[in-house]
A and B are shown apart, each in its own frame.
Chain A
Amino acid sequence: MYPSAFDYRAPRSVDEALDVLAEGGDEARVLAGGQSLIPMMKLRLASPGLLVDINHLGGLDHLARNNGHLAVGALARHADVAASAEVAAANPTMAAAARWIADPLVRNRGTLCGSVAHCDPEGDWNSVMLAVGGEVVARSRTGERTIPAVDFVVDFFTNALAPGEMVTEVRIPVATGRTGGDYLKLERKIGDYATVAVATHLVLDDAGRVAEAGLALTGVSGRNLKVTEAEQLMVGQQPGEELFAQAAEIASRACDPTDDVRGPRSSRGCYSSTWSAPGPG
């Protein structure tokens, strides 16, 4: 299968890339890993008139701590994230999710930032971002801004970027104190998209009560679903099975999945209920 015809540019600097993006307007799309965009182009579900290949840009493949967060550059591949000791130390939810993104071949090319920008409700990284409170750094010719994940993930394949803006970095808060988290993914076969997946994040205070709670679901809605009601239920409480079961029940009711090849709607709700009950880290 072949994409529709497109123009291709491979800028050599971020400034050049931003110029090309601005000139390209609605027709321009950034190509990083391409592991979501190229398959869509081959199926003609996406037909950008201009591809801006950012793979030649230097200084974008970083995975480094900076000011209390972990900065993930636009060209950091999923494989790099999965192998990174920095990630393992920084955030348990992120570390848990990394090796379950697609399969090893896709992980060698695909990028975390690209996945976040793509806003596929079946994509894993945005559930992690929503659960842990990540942020997206967007740059354009006119400047730079930081967008919290909860504002960035707008809808089905829709992010909050303005025309001419490009994601240069994603920031994940570094875990401090008593932090736990996990990413549980149910898939039909290894390497598949999630039938349903759950990202959890918990921080306990000195008295052992929940200070912070994050719960986000993959594959159950038109976009990655942050279950705010369940999160708020848990804050201030002592962690325990009953509390988590209540949170899971709320999460299950919040789901709005569609029937598709990965299973009928009812079963997805049931899975997310069972899975939303983790222990603290």
Chain B
Amino acid sequence: MLLVDLVRTRAGLTGTHVGCDTTSCGACMVLFDGRPVKSCTLFAVQADGHAVTTVEGLKQGGDLHPVQAAFKEHHGLQCGFCTSGMMLVGSALLAENDDPGEDDVRWAISGNICRCTGYVNIVKAIQAAGAELRGADGPDRSEGTTGEVTA
């Protein structure tokens, strides 16, 4: 069983998508111990003992993560199929660098393909989320909730 199947069918978390199934598109992206990976290219058993974060883990209590709010505000999605991956990789980038330049963002998302937007508003949204995180007085919101996976 591939990790993406465990996430979607056993855990019922369908925010993670199967796009190409050939390790190209990144729609299946999850965070594996905080690092973006393509969940269609890992076996579920390999997650044993590791922390896997899906897009459902971005929300903090009832509140949208700044990345989610920014995608909404800046029209960072059209069909939404790549969006889970884009928001997760954006959150991972911002956890390391909350003031990324355009090139930094484009490099970080270069493993995620979008067929709709032309990437312009995706970049804007991630940068805007960074600005929000830099300005936020509250607790650090750049980490999503994570769950331990024991196979």
Check if A34 sits within 8 Å of B41, measured CB to CB.
yes
Report the separation of the CA atoms of residues A171 and B22 in the bound assembly, to the nearest whole angstrom.
31
Check if A108 sits within 8 Å of B110, measured CB to CB.
no
Consensus secondary structure, chain B interface: mixed
Report the separation of the CA atoms of residues A35 and B46 in the bound assembly, to the nearest whole angstrom.
13
Check if B38 sits within 8 Å of A106, measured CB to CB.
yes
Check if A38 sits within 8 Å of B41, measured CB to CB.
yes
Contacts A1-B21, A39-B22, A39-B23 given; indicate if A104 touches B41 (C-beta within 8 A): no
Looking at the assembled complex, report how far the CB atom of A60 sits from the nearest CB atom of chain B, in whole angstroms: 16
Consensus secondary structure, chain A interface: loop
Q: C-beta contact mask, A141-159 vs B, less than 8 Å → 1, else 0?
A: 0000000000000000000
Check if B22 sits within 8 Å of A103, measured CB to CB.
no
**What size tier do the contact residues of chain B reach?**
20 to 34
Check if A38 sits within 8 Å of B21, measured CB to CB.
no
Contacts A35-B23, A39-B22, A42-B21 given; indicate if A104 touches B36 (C-beta within 8 A): yes
Given contacts A38-B42, A39-B23, A109-B41, 20 further A-B contacts (CB under 8 A): A1-B21, A1-B22, A35-B38, A35-B41, A39-B22, A42-B40, A53-B46, A79-B35, A102-B111, A103-B111, A104-B107, A104-B110, A106-B38, A106-B41, A108-B35, A108-B37, A109-B42, A190-B110, A191-B24, A191-B111
Q: Interface of B with A (CB < 8 Å)?
A: 2, 21-24, 26, 29, 32, 35-38, 40-43, 45-46, 89, 107-108, 110-112
What are 27 inter-chain pairs, A to B, with CB distance below 8 A?
A: A2-B2, A8-B43, A10-B45, A34-B41, A35-B41, A38-B2, A38-B42, A38-B43, A42-B2, A42-B22, A43-B22, A53-B45, A55-B46, A102-B111, A103-B111, A104-B110, A105-B37, A105-B112, A106-B38, A106-B111, A108-B35, A108-B36, A109-B32, A109-B38, A109-B42, A191-B24, A191-B111
